[in-house]
Amino acid sequence: MIAKYVALSLLSIVLLTGCLVLNPGPRPTIAPRQIDPSTIDLAIPDTQPGITSNNDPADSVVFDNSVAPGIDPDIAALVAAVSQQQLVAYVQKLGEFGTRNSFSDTTSETFGIGAARRWIADEFERVGGGNLIVERQDFNLTYEGLTAGQQNVIATLPGLSGHAGVVVINAHYDSRVGGGSQSATDGESLSPSANDNASGVAMLLELARLLSSRRWNQTIVFAAFASEEQGTAGSRWYVNQAVLNNKQIDWAISNDAIGGHTNIPQASVRMFAPNLTFSRSGATARYVSHLVDIYQPGLQLEVINALDRPGRYGDHREFINANIGAVRLIELVEDEDRLNSPTDTWEKIDYAYLEKVTRINLIAVANWIGAPPPPARPTIAGMSDPGSYLVSWRPHPQAAAYAVSFRPLNEPFFPVLQIVPADGEHIFTDLSPNLTYGVSMAPISESGRLGGFSVEKVIP
């Protein structure tokens, strides 16, 4: 994957109203596709025209020649096992509930948001095989004079290391039809919302299926949020509770409208992160981009220095408002004619594209939760020679080496990472004495998994 920092283009969003009787046909059986991991091409391609490569992972300066960030075989096998059949089945099933509007029926077993959230919770239980802790978190939503009970569906896969922080991968499961505040409370009109956002929930369930088949060092949370269409109420409630209960969230990745369209080619996926050069969201974007560079799932990733499209929002903003690093993934080109329309149905999604976006999420979170935990910020001391620094840290016993980034603060992406032994101390030379650097470091496992980076420490 080649990462590119692109300017934000203005998008005109047309909101449509109306109803359509759905006849999706028979739903495919939910069963994993069996794939030989050796058949997937994970090689890094040549630089594409018009795309600027951030860095080639092969260029890393390696002091300990035995270890460097690379493709972990177990993660590669999971990447290869992402199933289009699973994704199709999930999106189609979510559409069968007719609507998932926050003010729709909660008692029916077949129609409305109540049936949808019960099915999502049950599916987390099923794919987790007893390894996921599944809960439905209750809160009340008041919107346009109406009040209704809501539920976030949360599935947690506990880690083994005891590290307090968690990664939250999330998508909203509610839907709406049309624009305006009145449509946001319309619980009767059909709103299958296959792309916005059954595609994101399908990705969550597929990742839960794959990742819960293994045990990992760090804890991951799969969050299906309610009431995104009413001002990200569900994710706001979740983040507020986390802050009130002193729960540490290392970073979050939101997926919203990631399904693509059968009639619109999608050459890449957009990742929104505000203040790339000096924010926790920027650090999250750098991490995801670097790992996709290494694993190359066959899709270009465009990193955009903004919270979201003009005038738009997603659940990631609630994490960012709480000073938690978060990014949003969304398809490159939106279909304005189907946005919030009853024509946003399952058969119009490009499932090959959705599979690739699912792999991006898998690559990033599996490396973080599979490697040793991120270190605390290192101690950095200047040496007598200009441009030389002594970096000290407390190494983790499971770390085989550490990747160190001396990033000039005006650069949005990682420079060439320097790989050093896990001995807790190293002298770095030949750095420019005229640049201000943000220094961070991450553990590397023996198999090449790249863990989380420490919070950057700025040195003049």
In contact, 287 and 453? CB cutoff 8 Å: yes
| 173: in domain | yes
Q: Report the C-alpha gap between 170 and 151 in whole angstroms.
A: 14
Residue 339, in any domain of the structure: yes
Q: Do 365 and 384 share a domain, yes or no? A: no
Task: Provide the pLDDT for residue 31.
Answer: 38
Query: Are 410 and 353 in the same domain?
Result: no
What's the length of the chain? Answer: 460
Strands 219-225 vs 166-172: parallel, antiparallel or unpaired: parallel
Give pLDDT < 70 ranges for the chain: 1-66, 180-182, 297-299
Which of 370, 387, 420 is the last residue in one of the domains?
370
Does residue 296 belong to any structural domain of this protein?
yes
Same domain, 418 and 327: no
- Is 215 a domain residue? yes
Residue 300's pLDDT is: 85
Judgement on whether residues 199 and 105 belong to the same structural domain of the protein: yes
CA separation (Å) from 288 to 229, 248, 253, 276, 303? Answer: 26, 20, 10, 13, 10
Last residue of a domain, one of 318, 338, 370: 370
3 with 289: CB under 8 angstroms? yes
* Helix pair 113-128, 199-211: axis angle to 10 deg: 20
Same domain, 295 and 384: no
Judge whether 308 and 272 are in contact, CB under 8 Å: yes
Look at residues 192, 216, 162 and name the one whose alpha carbon lies nearest to residue 369: 216
What pLDDT, on the 0 to 100 scale, is given for residue 36?
Answer: 38
Of 325, 343, 370, which one is at a domain's C-terminal end?
370
- CATH number of the domain that residue 455 is part of: 2.60.40.10
> On the CB side of 259, how many CA atoms lie within 13 Å of its CA?
33
Between CA 234 and CA 91 the distance in angstroms is 21
Q: Are residues 282 and 412 in the same domain?
A: no
Which three-class secondary structure state does DSSP give residue 255?
Answer: strand
Kindly state the tokens that stand for 238: 């979740």
Q: Is the same domain home to 328 and 242?
A: yes
**Omega prior to 434 cis, within 30 of 0:** no
SS3 276: helix
Considering the domain architecture, whether residues 181 and 243 belong to the same structural domain is answered as yes
pTM: 0.87
Number of folded domains that form the chain:
2
Edge-to-edge, what's the strand order for the sheet holding 249-255? Answer: 3-6, 300-304, 268-272, 325-331, 249-255, 166-172, 219-225, 146-157, 133-143
Look at residue 209 in the predicted model and tell me its pLDDT: 98
For residue 208, the SS3 value is helix
Handedness of CA 308, 203, 133, 159 (dihedral sign): negative
The per-residue pLDDT for 337 is: 87
DSSP code of 220? Answer: E
Question: How confident is the model at residue 299, as a pLDDT?
Answer: 67
Residues 6+ apart with CB under 8 A from 441: 375, 378, 391, 393, 402, 403, 404, 405, 453, 454
- 256 and 383 part of one domain: no
> What is the number of other CB atoms lying within 10 angstroms of the CB of residue 24?
15
For residue 163, the domain's CATH number is: 3.40.630.10
